[in-house]
Structure 1
């Protein structure tokens, strides 16, 4: 009987434990997490804060009692794994309530420790009410603060995924929201022309955005920017990046990669074949380039959990690399992406061309349609798709999902014109925007107008 220990009980950890039990009915599975909640939908926390999701408990997918009863898996919350003894194949665990420490043996160890919000060393930060959003407890603290103090304004530092979602949800609560972002473009993962549309949407909804700026000093409700400008904010949300929790792996001598994650092979094994790593703290490979890539999102973590569980139970299914497919809601707009952006293509010295299509999400004569911008990068020699972005109010996810599938399938950009996609006026056009990208690529190759 295998003895399996899992570190981390949120998305990746809880999923891999459940997957292993599905394929191995006899293994002894024990999960440790230093938090007080497990298996919660972290991606939903901004929307609970904003009141879009009214039932806070709906984010809790399971608890230790359910895991024990339904899956015969032992989950110990508020228990932190302090050390890994690879020679003895055991972990040192600390009960955070009592301070008691004990050793837990394992045959296989799975690390899913997640990541921690990066908090800048900001002068005067302690004098300012400030929060990060990385856990269920963080969400509860923000909600409690808003309920008790009834603030009228907030500053959000960082305009990435969480920063954008928090800005929208705090604005929906009626707060005056200002964003501070060190780059010249919000959502720096996007190409500048797509990012500019996100910026315009933020501004049109009353969010004040300060780009090319960082907060250099905090003095209670006054924030000083690197530009010399001063902002007033009742509280501050820090969304300036994520640091993978690799300390445990580092102390155990497991190699850390160039992205800061624990290096894994195609089966999510670390340099120690009896130890796997997945989720935010694991380093994987880029589907397009084959280089190192780390994608701290829920979907890759769930896929990695499946791969690790399959391999551990004798069914080897190698991972195929990461595209970083993702989407975010920005008030009335949706923006999604997959693969490489222009900056990455240039930095890696890759040859590329771009098809830019502006059209409608569905039939223009149908009352409910949206203008969308679809941007697709491809290799002009191999014709393989390298990356794509899409923005609009409808049908954005559909287009990027099709393109991500096309990339995994190895389709050439011209092949997009041949895809038989569903059509009715409320949903698309006889020639979907995806088809039109393929037609346009053919026209451009022939030197004619699309």
Structure 2
């Protein structure tokens, strides 16, 4: 092993490229023209659009080269970076501030000294201990894409194991490529950042487009052309894609004695510094803080890019802080969009926090303007303080802009009732005078003020309350909650006497008429909450229960 000369010029060594590593490297160069910046990448590609990989399977992104953003040569020409691919860092010597590098092309090892080391090794696909798991393909980098694309071209049947964001994207794009696709998820629902009554809408969209979705499906064995479930059923296939999650690549840090969490991930402070003052960590390998201040593994592109820039700023002497950011994610599901920010109801409940939820189902823009599409929204918040914990959205056009507004509100520390005060842009083709985000604020404010009591979809059964459906008779005829009585909203005043003295719950289609009914009957002396989100939320909740039998 030869030790590379260290000539006194500040040398920053970056382990890993792509989002975090390359953001750090290019920002460093913009701040310091003299620094020696060396990027060591184990793979063949140092800068590529990993979030775009699934869309090459279907041909939506037709040219593979469009996914390759930079090469070592282009990075050298533009930024003066020393980018070395197929270089595996095998050990960090913190005492001498050197890394041991193995050149996979030349099959030789060398040591490289550093002033500061940035770890950006990313995350690796999880391979569960299932017999035959080695036969499954994964999708994490361009080499994975090439193997998966070749297998997809050669076959017509696919099984995708894992119903998270990557699994859903792969399933959609294989289906768009003409495959018969089965999506298997071990838990009762797909898309775990969403709560079940929102996630089921994405599942229904997959099934509408021909993807067979099976939840609570435990895989016990794989071969190159079959998947066996715990029920004993065997699914024949031409290829298997494993997308059950990723784990942080923290082995290098762990072996170097840096602080690593028990469940994985490099621990960093708000300036992204590890337990060694000369080593930072960014991207999927580093743990960050969620909005409640707890350590979280958030393998998302926004964070990696932001962290890379901040680390470069800190190395160059600028004060920085990265902490308390909500995890915000979005996925295309054929003609729908599914998105979330912050914590979902399951996570908030598990932490024992006081919370309330509200559901709405507005149109994407003014209903009288053609082409409005439904957007189903959910807000989780503290009913006393109004603190927003998180939000979810599933729908058509405009879903992305609503989740972005809600993520901004959450990050800025706005309260749930503050959403009604946001001066959002309005014209009939784009929104309503009361934007869907504003409406969430109005509904949340009613809950916080105690103006309306609500019952959630999963609380209705067994509540002992008489269910009054205040929709029009035609709506009631098209579908109703078992046991519900139809008394249209406009008839409630004249029939209040027959309702008084009996515990009631009212509901409409989406909650708005139900709120009016609850207020009217409350004023007339009735004991009556409103079914939050109305019939549509109840219907989605029931569908989520019906859709997850044991396989």
Is this a same-fold pair by TM over 0.5?
Answer: yes
Partner of 1:326: 329
Asked if structure 2 preserves the Cα contact closer than 8 Å seen for 1:165 and 1:328, the reply is yes
**In terms of mean alpha carbon deviation, does 220-229 or 6-15 score higher?**
220-229
Deviation at 1:241, TM superposition (A): 1.4
Deviation at 1:259, TM superposition (A): 4.7
Partner of 2:74: 66
Deviation at 1:125, TM superposition (A): 4.2
Give SS of 2:152's match. helix
Partner of 2:427: 424
TM-score (norm 1): 0.97
Asked if structure 1 preserves the Cα contact closer than 8 Å seen for 2:325 and 2:411, the reply is no
Partner of 2:100: 92
Deviation at 1:218, TM superposition (A): 2.3
Asked if structure 2 preserves the Cα contact closer than 8 Å seen for 1:259 and 1:292, the reply is no
Residue 219 to residue 410, structure 1, CA distance change in 2 (3 Å): closer
Partner of 1:262: 266
Q: Distance in 1 between matches of 2:192 and 2:329?
A: 14
Q: Distance in 2 between matches of 1:365 and 1:74?
A: 58
Partner of 1:275: 279
Deviation at 1:145, TM superposition (A): 2.4
Give SS of 1:240's match. coil
**In terms of mean alpha carbon deviation, does 213-222 or 316-325 score higher?**
213-222
Q: Distance in 2 between matches of 1:49 and 1:81?
A: 31
Q: Distance in 2 between matches of 1:217 and 1:34?
A: 31
Deviation at 1:220, TM superposition (A): 4.0
Partner of 2:257: 253
Does residue 23 of structure 1 match 2:31?
yes
- Where structure 1 has 5 or more consecutive residues not aligned to the other structure, the ranges are none
Partner of 1:199: 203
Give SS of 2:83's match. strand
After superposition, the CA RMSD in angstroms is 1.2
Higher gyration radius (CA): 2
Counterpart among 153, 157, 177 of residue 157 in structure 2:
153
Residue 446 to residue 245, structure 1, CA distance change in 2 (3 Å): same
- Where structure 2 has 5 or more consecutive residues not aligned to the other structure, the ranges are 1-8, 453-514, 517-551
Does residue 38 of structure 1 match 2:46?
yes
Q: Distance in 2 between matches of 1:64 and 1:201?
A: 41
Counterpart among 408, 411, 415 of residue 414 in structure 2:
411
Q: Distance in 2 between matches of 1:105 and 1:158?
A: 41
**In terms of mean alpha carbon deviation, does 214-223 or 255-264 score higher?**
214-223
Q: Distance in 1 between matches of 2:353 and 2:224?
A: 47
Asked if structure 1 preserves the Cα contact closer than 8 Å seen for 2:151 and 2:239, the reply is no
TM-score (norm 2): 0.79
Asked if structure 1 preserves the Cα contact closer than 8 Å seen for 2:280 and 2:311, the reply is yes
1:248-289 superposed Cα distances (whole Å, 9 cap, x missing partner): 0011001112551100000100000110001010011112x1
Give the count of matched residue pairs.
Answer: 445
Deviation at 1:120, TM superposition (A): 2.3
1:401-442 superposed Cα distances (whole Å, 9 cap, x missing partner): 111111121111111111110111111011100111111122
Asked if structure 2 preserves the Cα contact closer than 8 Å seen for 1:259 and 1:294, the reply is no
Q: Distance in 2 between matches of 1:406 and 1:131?
A: 39
Deviation at 1:221, TM superposition (A): 2.0
Partner of 1:174: 178
Does residue 392 of structure 1 match 2:395?
yes
Q: Distance in 2 between matches of 1:145 and 1:42?
A: 19
Residue 335 to residue 104, structure 1, CA distance change in 2 (3 Å): same
Asked if structure 2 preserves the Cα contact closer than 8 Å seen for 1:259 and 1:283, the reply is no
Does residue 138 of structure 1 match 2:130?
no
